[in-house]
C-alpha cells in the first residue's frame, strides 16, 4: 500500500469528519445557494504523480468546484423533475459507499434481501399487485430500456423468434404504439435496435398529450390479433397528464398487446387519495418504469422497473457463466452484473417517513404547483399553457418568441433564486416548473413569483406582436 493510503487509513476518522463538515456546510447554505449556475470551468488538471492525499484532494475539489455546483437539491430548483434527498436517504447513501456491497447475487450477503424488501415496500406504496417483480436500475431511462427489452422479447416469442439468443436480424418490425412518449423511451428503442421511428403515433385527445382510447382501439383492431407494444404515460413531462390506464389497459388485454407504463414521477400520485384515481388501471400493465431520484427523494442514481413477466425479463438479461449463480439472482434482471446497493437509501427513507410521510410530500408538491399556477394566471406577464393537474406547471410569457423566452430563462438563472426548464407545448415556447422536493415550502412561493415578475419586467417589450 502506498504511504499516502496508509496515512489516510490512519486519519480516517478525521477524513470522515471533514466530509461531514463539508456536507453540512453545503446543505446549510443550500436554500440560498443559486438554484442553477454555469460559471466558466477552470482549465483541466493533469494527473499528479505523487498524489495529494484525501485531505488535500477534498480541499482542492471544494476550492475549484463547490461554488459552481447547482442548488438542485434545494427548494427552488424546479427544472426537469428534480427530487431532493431526505435526511434518511442521505444517511443511507453515505453508508452504501462505506458498505460497498455488490448486489448482484444472493450468495454472500443479505444486501439482496434489503433490495427485495425495498421493492415490496414500493409495490405497496404504488398499489401494484404482488405479481409484479422489480429491480433497482440507474433511472427511469434504464427502467424503460429493461421494460421495452422484455416487451420486445415477448412480441418476438409470439411471432416465433427468440431475440435474446438469435438477435433481430431479418425479423419483422414489431408494432409499437404511443401518444406522447418520453424522450427516454425513444432512446431505449434506439438502443434495442427497434429504432426511434418504430413508434406509431396514436392521436391524442383534444388539448391533452394523452392517447385517444378510441383511436388506440382502431389501431389495435386493425392488427387483427398481431402482437403490439403500447406505451402509456403515467405523468407526461410537460403537463403531468395521464393516459387513461383503465381504458388503455382493457384495450391491451382485449387485443393481446403488451402495456408498458412510464410512471417515472407520476406513479407517486398513488400515495395521495386525492390523485390516486389517475393510476386506476395500472395493474393492467405488463411493465412499469419509475424513478427513485425524483419524487421518492433519494439521491441519484435510482430507478425502478417492475414487470409481471420475470421469466421473460431474465431470458433477456441473464448472464451465464460458471462462477455466476443460476438462481433467482438480481443480476439476471438488469443490464448491470455488478450492482450498487441502491436499495438502501430507498429503504431508509420509506422506513423513516412511511406511507403518511410520502403522502404528505406528494400533496405538498401538488398544492405548491396549484398555487404557482394561480399566481401565474393572475400575472400580467404570464399565462398557463395547460391546467395544473399534478406537480407540474407549464406556462409561457404572454407575448414573444422562443428567443424572448430564452432571455427570460437567462435572466432567471442570473438571478439565482429559482431554476426552470424550457419546453415547447401546444405549439408555443414555454417553461416548466416541477415540484418534487421535500424542502420546498409555501414560503418559497412568493420568492418564486417575485423572481419571475422581476425577470419579466426587465425584458424589453417585444417589437412585434405574438
Residue located via cell numbers 398499489: 127
163 or 304: whose CB is closer to ligand PLP? 304
Rounded Cα distance, 208 and 23, in Å:
43
Q: Characterise 38 by phi-psi region: left (phi > 0), alpha (psi -120 to 50), beta (else).
A: beta
Beta strands 228-233 and 258-262 are parallel
Nearest distance from C-beta of residue 268 to ligand PLP, angstroms: 11
Q: How far is the CB of 68 from ligand PLP (least distance, A)?
A: 22
For residue 435, what is the DSSP state? -
Nearest-approach distance from CB 316 to ligand PLP, in angstroms: 19
| Residue with Cβ nearer ligand PLP (140 or 412) | 140
* Choice between 92 and 235, CB closer to ligand PLP: 235
Q: For residue 425, count other CB atoms closer than 10 A to its CB.
A: 19
Residues of this chain that interact with ligand PLP (CB under 6 A) are 81, 139-141, 182, 184, 235, 237, 262, 264-265, 291, 303
**DSSP codes, 383-449:** EESS---SSEEEEEESS--HHHHHHHHHHHHHH-S-B-EEEEETTEEEEEEE---TT--TTHHHHHH
Q: In whole angstroms, how close is the CB of 146 to ligand PLP at the nearest point? A: 12
Nearest to 425 by CA among 278, 169, 240: 240
Q: How far is CA 277 from CA 131, 138, 183, 255, 454, in A?
A: 21, 28, 26, 24, 38
Give the pairing type, strands 392-397 and 428-434: antiparallel
Residues 6 or more apart in contact with residue 387 via CB below 8 angstroms: 239, 373
330 Cβ contact partners less than 8 Å away, ≥ 6 residues apart: 103, 104, 105, 106, 112, 115, 135, 339
CB-nearer residue toward ligand PLP: 244 or 262: 262
Rank residues 140 and 269 by Cβ distance to ligand PLP and give the closer one.
Answer: 140
Asked if 149 and 292 touch (Cβ cutoff 8 Å), the reply is no
CA gap 113, 106 in Å, rounded: 8
Q: Tell me the closest approach of the beta carbon of residue 80 to ligand PLP, in angstroms.
A: 7
Taking the C-alpha atoms of residue 26 and residue 458, their distance in angstroms, rounded to an integer, is: 31
Query: Which residues 6+ apart lie within 8 Å of 454 measured at CB?
Result: 415
Nearest approach, Cβ of residue 431 and ligand PLP (Å): 16
Whichever of 235 and 430 has its CB closer to ligand PLP, that residue is 235
Task: Select 300 or 317, whichever has its Cβ closest to ligand PLP.
Answer: 300
Please give the grid coordinates belonging to residue 397: 410569457
Tell me the C-alpha distance between 85 and 91, whole Å. Answer: 10
The residue sitting closest to ligand PLP, measured at its beta carbon, is 139
Nearest to ligand PLP of 140, 361 (CB atom)? 140
Q: Measured from the CB of residue 405, what is the shortest distance to ligand PLP in angstroms?
A: 21
C-alpha 296/C-alpha 357 separation (Å) is 10
CB of 292 to ligand PLP, least distance (A): 9
Nearest distance in Å: CB 265, ligand PLP: 5
Nine-digit cell string for 14:
478525521
Q: Which is nearer to ligand PLP, 115 or 243 (CB)?
A: 243
- Smallest distance from the beta carbon of 35 to ligand PLP, in angstroms? 18
Residue 105 vs 389, nearer CB to ligand PLP: 389
Residue 218: its H or E element: helix 213-222
Amino acid at each position: 500500500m502506498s504511504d499516502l493510503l496508509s496515512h489516510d487509513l490512519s486519519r480516517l476518522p478525521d477524513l470522515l469528519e471533514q466530509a461531514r463538515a463539508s456536507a453540512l456546510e453545503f446543505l446549510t447554505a443550500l436554500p440560498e445557494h443559486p438554484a442553477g449556475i454555469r460559471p466558466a470551468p477552470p482549465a483541466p488538471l493533469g494527473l499528479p504523480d505523487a498524489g495529494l492525499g484525501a485531505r488535500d484532494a477534498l480541499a482542492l475539489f471544494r476550492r475549484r468546484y463547490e461554488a459552481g455546483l447547482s442548488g438542485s437539491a434545494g427548494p427552488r430548483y424546479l427544472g426537469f423533475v428534480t427530487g431532493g434527498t431526505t435526511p434518511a436517504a442521505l444517511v443511507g447513501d453515505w453508508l452504501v459507499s462505506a458498505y460497498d456491497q455488490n448486489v448482484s447475487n444472493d450468495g454472500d450477503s443479505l444486501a439482496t434481501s434489503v433490495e427485495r424488501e425495498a421493492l415490496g415496500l414500493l409495490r405497496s406504496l404504488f398499489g401494484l399487485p404482488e405479481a409484479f417483480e422489480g429491480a433497482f436500475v440507474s433511472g427511469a431511462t434504464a427502467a424503460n430500456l429493461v421494460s421495452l427489452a422484455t416487451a420486445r422479447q415477448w412480441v418476438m416469442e409470439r411471432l416465433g423468434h427468440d431475440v435474446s439468443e438469435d438477435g433481430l436480424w431479418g425479423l419483422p418490425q414489431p408494432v409499437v404504439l404511443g401518444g406522447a412518449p418520453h424522450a427516454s423511451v425513444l432512446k431505449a428503442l434506439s438502443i434495442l435496435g427497434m429504432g426511434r421511428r418504430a413508434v406509431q403515433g396514436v392521436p391524442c385527445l383534444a388539448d391533452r398529450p394523452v392517447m385517444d382510447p378510441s383511436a388506440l382501439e382502431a389501431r389495435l383492431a386493425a392488427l387483427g390479433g398481431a402482437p403490439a407494444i403500447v406505451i402509456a404515460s403515467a405523468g407526461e413531462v410537460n403537463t403531468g397528464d395521464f393516459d387513461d390506464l383503465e381504458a388503455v389497459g382493457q384495450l391491451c388485454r382485449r387485443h393481446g398487446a403488451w402495456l408498458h407504463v412510464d410512471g417515472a414521477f407520476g406513479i407517486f400520485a398513488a400515495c395521495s387519495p386525492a390523485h390516486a384515481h389517475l393510476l386506476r388501471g395500472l395493474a393492467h400493465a405488463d411493465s412499469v418504469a419509475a424513478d427513485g431520484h425524483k419524487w421518492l427523494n433519494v439521491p441519484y442514481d435510482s430507478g425502478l422497473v417492475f414487470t409481471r413477466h420475470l421469466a421473460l425479463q431474465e431470458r433477456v438479461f441473464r448472464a451465464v457463466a460458471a462462477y455466476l449463480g443460476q438462481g433467482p439472482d438480481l443480476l439476471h434482471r438488469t443490464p448491470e452484473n455488478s450492482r450498487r446497493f441502491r436499495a438502501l437509501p430507498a429503504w431508509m427513507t420509506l422506513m423513516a417517513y412511511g406511507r403518511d410521510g410520502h403522502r404528505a410530500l406528494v400533496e405538498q408538491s401538488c398544492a405548491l404547483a396549484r398555487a404557482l399556477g394561480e399566481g401565474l394566471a393572475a400575472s400580467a406577464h404570464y399565462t398557463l399553457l395547460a391546467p395544473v393537474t399534478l406537480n407540474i406547471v407549464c406556462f409561457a410569457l404572454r407575448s414573444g418568441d422562443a428567443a424572448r423566452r430564452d432571455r427570460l430563462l437567462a435572466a432567471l438563472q442570473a438571478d439565482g433564486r429559482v431554476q426552470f426548464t424550457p419546453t415547447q407545448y401546444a405549439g408555443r415556447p414555454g417553461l416548466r416548473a416541477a415540484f418534487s422536493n421535500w424542502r420546498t415550502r409555501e414560503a418559497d412561493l412568493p420568492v418564486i413569483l417575485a423572481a419571475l415578475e422581476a425577470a419579466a419586467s426587465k425584458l424589453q417589450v417585444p417589437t412585434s406582436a405574438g
